Every structure is written in C-alpha cells, then in structure tokens.
Amino acid sequence: MNISVLNILFFLIFISLNTLQVSAGGMIVPAPPAIKASSYVVMDFHSGNVLVEHNTEQKLAPASLTKIMTVYVAAYELASGKITLEDAVLISEKAWRTQGSRMFIEVNKRVKLDDLLHGVIIQSGNDASVALAEYISGTEEAFADLMNKHAERLGMTNTHFVNSTGLPDPEHYTTASDLAKLSQALIRDYPEVYELHKIKEFTFNKIKQHNRNNLLWRDSSVDGIKTGHTEAAGYCLVVSSVRDGMRLISVVMGADGMEARAKASQALLSYAYRFYETHKLYSTGDLVTNVKVWKADRDNLNLSVNQDIYITVYRGQYDKLESVIEVGAEIVAPVSQGEQKGVLNVRLVDKNIVRVPLLAMESVPTGGIIKRLKDDILLLFD
C-alpha cells in the first residue's frame, strides 16, 4: 500500500472520529448537524436538558424574538387579573407610528386587548407590541423594566431589554440559552396563551396576515413560537414541537435568510428526535422510598419528590439508568411534612444526571415513652 493511500485512510479515520460522539453508555451517535448561524440550541422542554448547543451564551440582538417576553408579561398580567382580554386599549400616536412589521392599528381608536395579543403573536406587530406595553405599564420604557424583572426571575442572566418590539438598540440583547428558558416558561406557565402561537393567520381591520413561522405549514408537530429579523440580528427563529409526547424547543439566531433559519431548525429538531428520548421518572408526590424512623409512633417514613422528574437520554439507554437514594444514618421523630430527609440520584453508568431532594410525605410525631426508650437502647448498640 503506497503512502498516498495510507494518508487518505488516516484522513478518513480522523474525520470519522471527529464526527461521532460516544455516549456515557457506549452508544455511538453522529455529531449534530452543522448549522450556519451565529448561535443555536435545542432543549428538551420537560427535562430542561440541552441536547445541541453552539455559542449559546453569546449576547445577540434578538429582533422580534423579544416579543416572546412581551407576550409572557402580558400573560402574567392576565393571570393576575390586572387586565382582561376584553379591555379596550386606546392606541397612542407612538404605537401607531412604530416602524417595522405592523398590525395596522389606528391612532386614537380603541382596540380589544385580545386582538392586540393576536397581532403581536401572529402578525409580529410592532405597533401592537407598543400599544400593549403602554396599556400594561403606562410607557414602553416602564414596560421594558418589567420585562427585565421577569427575565431576572426566570434566570435569564445574559439578557437586557429596552423595548417591547426588538427594534435595534445597543443595550437590547439576549442569548439563545436565555430564549430557550423563556420559551419553556411561556409554555409551562401560560399554556392557554401559548396556544395562540400555532394560529396561521389573523385578520384585523380587513387585512389578513399570515404567521411568519413557515414551519407551521411544513411540520404538523410544530405549534410555535416566534420569528425575528433585523439587519443587526439576521434571521432568527424559535420553534417548539411535540412528537410522541416529547416536546423540544429550538433557538436559531443569526441565520442568513428565512429559508435558512427554517431548514436549520428542522435539521436540529430532526437530529434531537432521532437520537434522544425523554421519560418521566416520577410525578410530584409519588412515593419514591420509605425509610426507618426512630422514636416515632410508627416504624417507617415515606419519602417523595416535590416536582415532576423527567430525564432525557440517548435512545436505547433508558434501561441503563440507576436510582441511588441517599438518606442520613438515622432519622429521629418528630418529622414535619415536607422536610428533606434524603436525596434521589439518577445515574447513567458512572455519571450522575439527576439529583433532587426527597421530602417527608407526612408529619411523624414522637412516639410514646416506651417506644422512645426502646429505640434509645437499639440506637446505642446499632
């Protein structure tokens, strides 16, 4: 075999090793698709596990992806009862004059808040966003402050908003990671409002406009979320879809065009669905284990989790998961309901992938004097 053939073989082996990933359980999977975009991420909605990522902490202009937070704040205010969908919102001149994508509301007219919400979500109306912001907070500047407070609460540590629309500003930025967190919160906290994101068209003032998320027409599993584009931001798209009960969120920022952002999102979702699976391990309040309790009016204490526990792993690895429970050397009554008395670890091979507290399912009072004396003796010799 000559040297040139050997060189080619070594090159092919090098390429193969660098385009495959080996999982914790030894499963070999291809590397994620190469996406031409500034930043992108795929996250499982239920587990919060990040499946694909690239420059996810890079601060970028979000363009109209900003409106995901505008909608989140509006949904929060609706849930609190401070505003209603039937409210008639007076349109200011500022809202009417706002440039960019528009719902075509008219100055000094009153528009039902429900229509404005549709205009923001479906038509990506900058005018509707400003009108909604002014109605909720008095001014768009005050609304931006509210947006930042919600961002902080949701753990969006690399985000700062200065407007409700996403129009360019040097101090208006976010990251793919933060947008994934925000999208997860919108779907989780306000599912009724999130339902609006799958509507394909909306007519207002006798003008019919289509949802700019063209994946709603191409992929029946897609039900949101938002497109965005400015010269500074490039073409952006946040998508969520559900297949066989597994919901994913993908964020693509800084793609080259509308078709590029759509194809990138499809490629990322297809990869994640092909090679990963999500399982629900426990529901809130499920009995996980029971343990010995000393000096009590009973012998055992039931322990549970206070949240739904999901896990996302490579396909075929679910059976390799192992639950390891940590409990203190001795648990002595009294015990209050909800008190942490252990930890649940879920391991895959040698890697710990979930660690959550185990809480007492019920209060356990101190036992009688005979029971306490008996346990004192047993503990002495244990």
| Catalytic residue status for 283 | no
Q: Is 187:196 a contact under the CB 8 Å cutoff?
A: no
For residue 5, is pLDDT > 70? no
What is the pLDDT at residue 27?
65
In a shared domain, residues 25 and 43: no
Q: Is 107:91 a contact under the CB 8 Å cutoff?
A: yes
Q: Is 136:75 a contact under the CB 8 Å cutoff?
A: no
Task: Calculate what percentage of the chain has a pLDDT beyond 70.
Answer: 92
Give bridge partners of residue 56 from the DSSP assignment.
none
pLDDT digits (tens, 9 = 90+) for 60-90: 999 999 999 999 999 999 999 999 999 999 9
In a shared domain, residues 27 and 40: no
Residue that is written with structure tokens 């429970």 in the block = 325
For residue 8, is pLDDT > 50? no
User: Measured over all CA atoms, what is the biggest interatomic distance in the chain, rounded to whole angstroms?
Assistant: 89
Q: What is the mean pLDDT of residues 302-315?
A: 96
For residue 157, is pLDDT > 50? yes
Rounded to whole angstroms, the Cα distance separating 239 from 161 reads 21
**Tokens representing residue 377 in the block:** 């003796």
| Catalytic residue status for 23 | no
pLDDT band, residue 380 (cuts 50/70/90): confident
Is 277 a member of any domain?
A: no
SS3 call for 284: coil
**Tokens representing residue 219 in the block:** 């992929």
In a shared domain, residues 43 and 25: no
**Tokens representing residue 118 in the block:** 């549709």
Of 23, 39, 47, 64, which residue is the catalytic one? 64
Is 278 a member of any domain?
A: no
Tell me which residue range forms the domain holding 4: 1-31
In a shared domain, residues 211 and 300: no
Of 38, 67, 92, 164, which residue is the catalytic one? 67
E-strand spans in 205-286?
Answer: 207-210, 222-230, 234-243, 246-255, 276-282
What is the pLDDT at residue 226?
98
In a shared domain, residues 330 and 258: no
Give bridge partners of residue 66 from the DSSP assignment.
none
Q: What is the pTM of this model?
A: 0.90
What is the pLDDT at residue 370?
85
What is the pLDDT at residue 22?
53
Nearest to 129 by CA among 186, 64, 80, 52: 64
* Cα dihedral sign, 105-108-112-113: positive
pLDDT band, residue 291 (cuts 50/70/90): very high
Q: What is the mean pLDDT of residues 189-212?
A: 96
What is the pLDDT at residue 14?
36
For residue 21, is pLDDT > 80? no
**How many C-beta neighbours within 10 Å does residue 353 have?**
16
pLDDT digits (tens, 9 = 90+) for 24-59: 556 678 999 999 999 999 999 999 999 999 999 999
| Catalytic residue status for 64 | yes
**Tokens representing residue 129 in the block:** 């966003």
In a shared domain, residues 258 and 194: yes
Q: What is the mean pLDDT of residues 328-349?
A: 93
Rounded to whole angstroms, the Cα distance separating 322 from 22 reads 19
What is the pLDDT at residue 376?
74
In a shared domain, residues 213 and 325: no
What CATH number is attached to the domain comprising 351?
2.60.410.10
Cβ-based neighbours of 175, under 8 Å, separated by 6 or more: 39, 56, 57, 58, 59, 60, 158, 159
How far apart, in Å, do the first and last CA atoms of the chain sit? 72
For residue 375, is pLDDT > 80? no
pLDDT digits (tens, 9 = 90+) for 234-288: 999 999 999 999 999 999 999 999 999 999 999 999 999 999 999 999 999 999 9
Rounded to whole angstroms, the Cα distance separating 164 from 218 reads 29
Rounded to whole angstroms, the Cα distance separating 148 from 342 reads 36
What is the pLDDT at residue 371?
78
**303 CB-side CA count, 13 A:** 22
Average per-residue pLDDT in the chain? Answer: 92
For residue 136, is pLDDT > 90? yes
Rounded to whole angstroms, the Cα distance separating 295 from 371 reads 6
In a shared domain, residues 117 and 237: yes
Of 124, 137, 164, 265, which residue is the catalytic one? 124
Burial class from Cβ neighbours inside 10 Å (0-12, 13-18, 19+) for residue 34 reads exposed
For residue 95, is pLDDT > 80? yes
In a shared domain, residues 70 and 9: no
Q: What is the mean pLDDT of residues 120-140?
A: 98
What is the pLDDT at residue 28?
79
In a shared domain, residues 194 and 315: no
Give bridge partners of residue 7 from the DSSP assignment.
none
Is 117 a member of any domain?
A: yes
In a shared domain, residues 191 and 339: no
Q: What is the mean pLDDT of residues 98-103?
A: 95
Rounded to whole angstroms, the Cα distance separating 233 from 62 reads 6
